[in-house]
């Protein structure tokens, strides 16, 4: 009996060990992207996962690396400590790009491609309080793009359509969560003025301050912020119709604290530097049309070259001239579901901590430099720990900038 029990315990322990090994193997596979980019002639190494090595097992060192050439790319097998196969990835050879790293503050002015619902307002009518928009099923964050078959580019277009309907049912086309939707809204007459109302407040423009990450003179493009410009009331990304970027001079800093993010405060100055082509989840991108701020020419790191360790960020705390401040990259996630959180960093520079408390609003887009390369940009602050925040890979922003420029 005791022998049977011991065998059962050994089997259970072995099964648990096998399951743990399979889970670890699966986690390692998930931590590596399917495709990685390399400079021609460079071996594949993962700075954030140094225990994964490309090539043949150590016992067969004379054998060629486990790869199959396919034109400008090849399949490379990554092995745990060079022995246990973990994942085969596609490596693409591509020349390294160089950009002008900025860190200068800039302003973003945008007009919406529609009318964004930011509030509801009950209307006082002869029948009492009514709200046509709510009755039609509209919600905060919906983007109205058409009313009565007429395109809506802003508040004036929506007001004109509601007035023209004069109480008749009005077909509203709107976007919600990326889906195109339709509703029927019946305007009501204000009891005191007789004016026709829909019962909504909408926003059709936006302006704010952020940090320019880089410019690419060769392609006349720019990238900044590291995240989308979002509406302050709804949190929805601003649907872009047109926009421009302008220089900004920082005039004051509101220091952040746990639970209360700080802020860079500045004023727009000068003429437009560029046209916004995309308000993307990963940043604001466009084409340069004027003189952009000067910057330092630095190569852009491929994502597998970014490692936990010391780095610097470029931030402007006064005027228009950025300075470098020390940070530490605490974590690198090559396959994060949210590209704004590929990097976790901590501000270690006492000068910056004394002035700002860490990362504050307006620093989004601040370039992150490591080992002489542009590796990323600041995106968000941890509200309860302002010395820490998230970052995005610079390689991701460069790819998006190229796409925005066509």
Instruction: Give tens-digit pLDDT for 184-227.
Output: 999 998 888 888 999 988 887 777 889 999 999 989 999 999 88
Give the separation between CA 294 and CA 189, rounded to whole angstroms: 56
CA nearest neighbour of 226 among 400, 23, 28: 400
Give the separation between CA 381 and CA 82, rounded to whole angstroms: 38
Give the separation between CA 332 and CA 352, rounded to whole angstroms: 23
Catalytic residue annotation:
227, 349, 364
Distance of CA 299 to the CA centre of its chain: 21
Do 356 and 253 meet the contact criterion of CB atoms below 8 Å apart? yes
Q: Which residues contact 182 (CB under 8 A, 6 or more apart)?
A: 171, 172, 173, 174
Give the separation between CA 216 and CA 287, rounded to whole angstroms: 9
| Pairing label, strands 35-38, 84-93 | parallel
Rg (CA), the chain: 27
Q: What is the pTM of this model?
A: 0.81
Q: How far apart are the first and last CA of the chain?
A: 74
Arithmetic mean of pLDDT, 27-54 = 86
Among 60-64, 152-156, 249-253, 383-387, the range scoring the smallest mean pLDDT is 60-64
141: region left, alpha or beta (phi > 0 left; psi from -120 to 50 alpha): left
Portion of the chain with pLDDT greater than 70, in percent: 88
Give the separation between CA 89 and CA 344, rounded to whole angstroms: 25
- If you average pLDDT over every residue of the chain, what do you get? 86
Query: In Å, what is the CA distance from 302 to each residue of 35, 99, 122, 393, 397?
Result: 11, 13, 53, 8, 12
Give the separation between CA 337 and CA 10, rounded to whole angstroms: 39
In residues, how long is the chain? 406
DSSP lists the bridge partners of residue 88 as 77
Give the separation between CA 172 and CA 235, rounded to whole angstroms: 22
Question: Residue 164: in which H helix or E strand, if any?
Answer: helix 155-165
Arithmetic mean of pLDDT, 251-278 = 89
Arithmetic mean of pLDDT, 375-388 = 94
Give the angle subtended at the CA of 177 by the CAs of 172 and 179, to the nearest 5°: 55
DSSP classification of residue 305: G
């Amino acid at each position: 009996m005791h022998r049977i029990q011991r065998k059962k315990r050994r089997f259970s322990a072995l099964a648990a060990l096998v399951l743990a090994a399979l889970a670890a193997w699966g986690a390692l596979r998930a931590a590596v992207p399917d495709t990685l980019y390399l400079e021609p002639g460079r071996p594949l190494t993962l700075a954030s996962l140094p225990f994964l090595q490309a090539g043949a097992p150590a016992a067969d060192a004379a054998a060629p690396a486990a790869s199959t050439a396919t034109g400008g790319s090849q399949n490379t097998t990554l092995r745990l400590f060079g022995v246990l196969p973990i994942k085969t990835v596609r490596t693409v050879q591509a020349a390294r790009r160089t950009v002008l790293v900025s860190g200068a503050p800039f302003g973003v002015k945008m007009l919406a491609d529609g009318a964004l619902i930011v509030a509801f307002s009950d209307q006082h009518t002869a029948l009492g309080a009514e709200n046509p928009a709510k009755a039609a099923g509209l919600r905060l964050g919906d983007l109205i793009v058409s009313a009565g078959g007429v395109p809506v580019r802003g508040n004036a277009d929506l007001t004109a359509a509601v007035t023209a309907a004069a109480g008749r049912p009005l077909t509203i086309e709107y976007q919600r969560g990326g889906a195109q939707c339709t509703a029927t809204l019946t305007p009501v007459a204000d009891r005191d003025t007789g004016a026709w109302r829909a019962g909504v407040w909408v926003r059709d423009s936006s302006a704010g301050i952020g940090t320019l990450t880089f410019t690419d003179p060769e392609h006349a493009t720019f990238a900044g912020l590291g995240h989308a410009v979002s509406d302050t009331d709804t949190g929805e990304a601003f649907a872009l119709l047109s926009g421009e970027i302008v220089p900004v001079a920082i005039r004051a800093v509101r220091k952040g604290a746990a639970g209360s993010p700080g802020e860079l405060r500045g004023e727009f100055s000068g003429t437009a530097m560029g046209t916004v082509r995309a308000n993307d989840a990963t940043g604001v991108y466009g084409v340069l049309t004027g003189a952009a701020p000067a910057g330092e020419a630095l190569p852009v790191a491929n994502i597998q070259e970014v490692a936990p360790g010391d780095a610097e960020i470029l931030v402007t705390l006064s005027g228009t001239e950025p300075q470098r401040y020390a940070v530490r990259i605490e974590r690198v996630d090559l396959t994060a579901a949210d590209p704004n959180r590929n990097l976790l960093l901590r501000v270690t520079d006492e000068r910056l901590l004394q002035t700002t408390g860490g990362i504050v609003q307006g620093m989004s887009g601040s370039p992150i430099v490591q080992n002489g390369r542009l590796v990323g940009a600041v995106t968000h602050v941890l509200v309860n720990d302002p010395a820490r925040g998230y970052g995005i890979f610079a390689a991701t922003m460069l790819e998006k900038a190229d796409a925005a420029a066509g």
